[in-house]
Amino acid sequence: MSNRSKARKRDRLYWREGRAWGDFRDYADVGGRREALVAEGTKQATSDEDLARVLLGRRLEVLDGKRRGRVMHGERKEASLASVARLDLLAKADSKKPTAEHLTELERRLRVALAFLGGAAARSRRRVRAAGSCG
């Protein structure tokens, strides 16, 4: 039996003054902390345990999605090659490192590459996954 299976499963749900809170500190890298479990449209943390468990699960799904790049939860980051090329050119222009001539030539080469890869009609069908996404 591994150490992982021997580890005690902890309950993230805890109570303060009769109100439900969730402990998401192990997701601190994506914004997790101790949080009041507040239902939409209310101002206070819930006092209903069943609702608290639902809110806890939803928050865990959001935090887990952020950590895993949303792939497991059905959300994928995608961008067209043309939009990525545009953002790259803008970032280079903002850095003020390349000359105007260099940027002009780079833009020309990107247009040729985009035309070769499928032109305007195929651009919307061909997708490139953004960095950090899987699957």
Write the burial class of residue 12 (CB in 10 Å: 0-12 exposed, 13-18 middle, 19+ buried).
Answer: buried
Structure tokens at 33: 């902390």
For the chain, give every domain's residue range.
10-67, 78-129
pLDDT reported for residue 76: 58
Provide the 10 A C-beta neighbour count for residue 63: 20
pLDDT reported for residue 126: 47
pLDDT (tens place) for every residue of the chain, 135 residues total: 445 444 445 789 999 999 999 999 999 888 899 999 999 999 999 999 999 999 999 999 988 888 887 655 555 566 677 888 888 888 888 888 888 899 899 889 988 888 888 655 444 444 545 555 454
pLDDT reported for residue 36: 95
pLDDT reported for residue 74: 58
Pick from 7, 9, 12, 32: nearest CA to 22: 12
